[in-house]
């Protein structure tokens, strides 16, 4: 299984040929996601068993049956959920990392990979305006990043508290991503949900909510969103930072989707206040043109994260005894990890940061252009001006069933559920310029 024999040679040829063809597709076809499990069972029948098969036969089943049953999130025709738009450079380097089993666990084992990843984290920290000592690691996604960061927030609150053990809470808006709610549940924390005017969490609203709250001492963190999932709205980060300072709370900024806008000068001012975050997350697999899965998690004081996430085991002692050591594994809830920041590093080096800024700017400007065109049409209603790349509109007089019928006709499946229609009517060419209607 590990030697280079004729079967290996056959696989190298066939799999690389497939990868090459896929990389050359322009545009990438949409394919389609869900399938009847019975059809897939039928297609795969007999392949996974005690005896092996000819790799070309297995690859043939994959290419003919499985691959088309995976919707291409990087297709310009993918208009649902959050699209991906990995650069060819990033995709190629991702393949290289797999072929070379590149891991990024510890400095002892992977200094080269980690150093390059850290340069990208530094670039992000600079864009946010965090101090020199800031740092963190790449994790699988915004959900993992939010969990890891808020675990630190809770521990820090615990350490500062003199009182008996208690259930901690975090301040969130009703527009925070679902992963924040999940995180709080997993951490046995509760949410103080602060109502927002126009879906934007402000410092004043949080101050009022704390004043009205019976138990402000149980608050550990305030969570701001830099680019809400449904509408791309950036919370009042300066106001939230002020509240965090006043009440000695951890300030976490979830920029999983919108953090990429830090690279766009035209909207940079909207992020003011992020430089005061204790932790923030940006998902390069969303809007920084990296392949799945890749989320950057940066802490103002990484030592705090390390004191929470570092795993102690006899066999790991050695990784914590290296000069200049930086172990990504110490900064989130994970141990073994792929160096998933490297495809982004490679692509940034190849294309230059300016190309990223230009691409993000053009998505924002496309969204504005779309909004202007929508406003000019009498059968559409713009719900709000876009802040980033999400455009919200409704078709006047349409109900959910009309959107569903439209989607079916357009060949899209099942996107017109209440929240699901939010990204349905996208302008595909620049991926994030989805056009949608916010339910309610
Ligand atoms: C604001 C925000 N936070 C977190 C997440 C979760 O990120 P992931 O899917 O990478 O776990 C998303 C995903 O859409 C998001 O939009």
Render pLDDT for 251-308 as a digit per residue (tens, 0 to 9). 999 999 999 999 999 999 999 999 999 999 999 999 999 999 999 999 999 999 999 9
Ramachandran sector of residue 155 (left: φ over 0; alpha: ψ -120 to 50; beta: rest): alpha
> Which residues of the chain have a pLDDT value below 50?
413-440
- Rounded CA-CA distance 264/18 in Å is 35
In this prediction, residue 294 carries a pLDDT of: 98
For residue 144, give the ligand 1 atom closest to its CA.
Answer: 11
Which residues 6+ apart lie within 8 Å of 227 measured at CB? Answer: 233, 234, 255, 256, 257, 258, 259, 261, 387, 388
Ligand 1, atom 6, lies closest to the CA of 142
Q: Of the residues 73, 82, 143, which should be mutated to test ligand 1's pocket, given the most ligand atoms within 8 Å of the CB? A: 143
Question: Which protein residues are within 6 Å of ligand 1, measured from CB?
Answer: 82, 141-143, 177, 179, 225, 229, 254, 256-257, 283, 295
In this prediction, residue 411 carries a pLDDT of: 60
Which residues 6+ apart lie within 8 Å of 337 measured at CB? Answer: 103, 104, 105, 137, 138, 139, 328, 329
Ligand 1, atom 7, lies closest to the CA of 142
Ligand 1, atom 5, lies closest to the CA of 142
Q: Which tokens in the block code for residue 439?
A: 């339910």
In this prediction, residue 76 carries a pLDDT of: 85
Q: Of the residues 139, 180, 229, 434, which should be mutated to test ligand 1's pocket, given the most ligand atoms within 8 Å of the CB? A: 229
Query: What order of strands is seen across the sheet that includes strand 380-384?
Result: 380-384, 390-395, 434-436
Chain-centroid distance, C-alpha 282: 6
For residue 283, give the ligand 1 atom closest to its CA.
Answer: 10
Q: Of the residues 73, 286, 432, which should be mutated to test ligand 1's pocket, given the most ligand atoms within 8 Å of the CB? A: 286
CA 315 to centroid of ligand 1, rounded, Å? 34
Chain-centroid distance, C-alpha 24: 26
Indicate the pairing of strand 295-299 with strand 380-384.
Answer: unpaired
Cα-flanking dihedrals φ and ψ of residue 38, to 5°?
Answer: -65, -35
Cα-flanking dihedrals φ and ψ of residue 411, to 5°?
Answer: 85, 10
CA 257 to centroid of ligand 1, rounded, Å? 6
User: Model confidence over 416-425: pLDDT tens digits?
Assistant: 343 334 433 3
Sign of torsion over alpha carbons 304, 306, 311, 312 = negative
């Amino acid at each position: 299984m590990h030697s280079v024999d004729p079967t290996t040679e056959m696989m190298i040829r066939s799999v690389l040929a497939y990868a090459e063809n896929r990389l050359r597709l322009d545009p990438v076809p949409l394919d389609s996601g869900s399938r009847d499990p019975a059809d897939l069972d039928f297609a795969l029948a007999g392949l996974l068993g005690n005896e092996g098969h000819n790799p070309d036969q297995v690859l043939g089943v994959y290419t003919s049956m499985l691959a088309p049953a995976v919707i291409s999130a990087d297709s310009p025709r993918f208009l649902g959920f959050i699209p991906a738009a990995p650069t060819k450079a990033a995709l190629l380097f991702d393949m290289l990392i797999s072929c070379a089993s590149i891991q990024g666990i510890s400095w002892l084992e992977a200094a080269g990979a980690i150093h390059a990843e850290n340069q990208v984290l530094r670039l992000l920290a600079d864009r946010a305006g965090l101090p020199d000592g800031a740092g963190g690691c790449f994790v699988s996604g915004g959900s993992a990043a939010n969990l890891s960061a808020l675990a630190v927030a809770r521990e820090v609150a615990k350490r500062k508290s003199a009182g008996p053990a208690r259930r901690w809470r975090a301040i969130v808006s009703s527009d925070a991503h679902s992963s924040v709610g999940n995180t709080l549940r997993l951490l046995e924390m509760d949410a103080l949900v602060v109502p927002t005017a126009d879906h934007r969490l402000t410092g004043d609203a949080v101050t009022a909510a704390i004043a009205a709250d019976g138990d402000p001492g149980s608050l550990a963190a305030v969570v701001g969103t830099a680019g809400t999932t449904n509408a791309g709205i950036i919370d009042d980060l300066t106001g939230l930072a002020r509240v965090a300072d006043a009440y000695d709370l951890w300030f976490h900024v979830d920029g999983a989707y919108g953090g990429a806008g830090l690279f766009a000068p035209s909207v940079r001012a909207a992020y003011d206040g992020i430089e005061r975050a204790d932790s923030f997350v940006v998902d390069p697999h969303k809007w920084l043109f990296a392949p799945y899965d890749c989320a950057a998690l940066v802490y103002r004081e990484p030592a705090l994260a390390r004191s929470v996430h570092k795993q102690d085991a006899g066999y790991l002692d050695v990784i914590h005894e290296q000069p200049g050591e930086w172990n990504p594994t110490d900064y989130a809830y994970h141990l073994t990890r792929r160096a998933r920041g490297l495809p982004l590093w490679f692509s940034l080096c190849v294309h230059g940061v300016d190309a990223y800024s230009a691409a993000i700017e053009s998505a924002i400007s496309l969204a504005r252009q779309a909004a202007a065109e929508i406003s000019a049409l009498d059968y559409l209603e713009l719900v709000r001006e876009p802040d980033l790349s999400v455009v919200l509109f409704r078709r006047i007089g349409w109900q959910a069933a009309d959107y569903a019928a439209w989607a079916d006709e357009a060949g899209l499946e099942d996107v017109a559920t209440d929240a699901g229609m939010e990204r349905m009517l996208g302008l595909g060419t620049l991926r994030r310029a989805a056009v949608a209607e916010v339910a309610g």
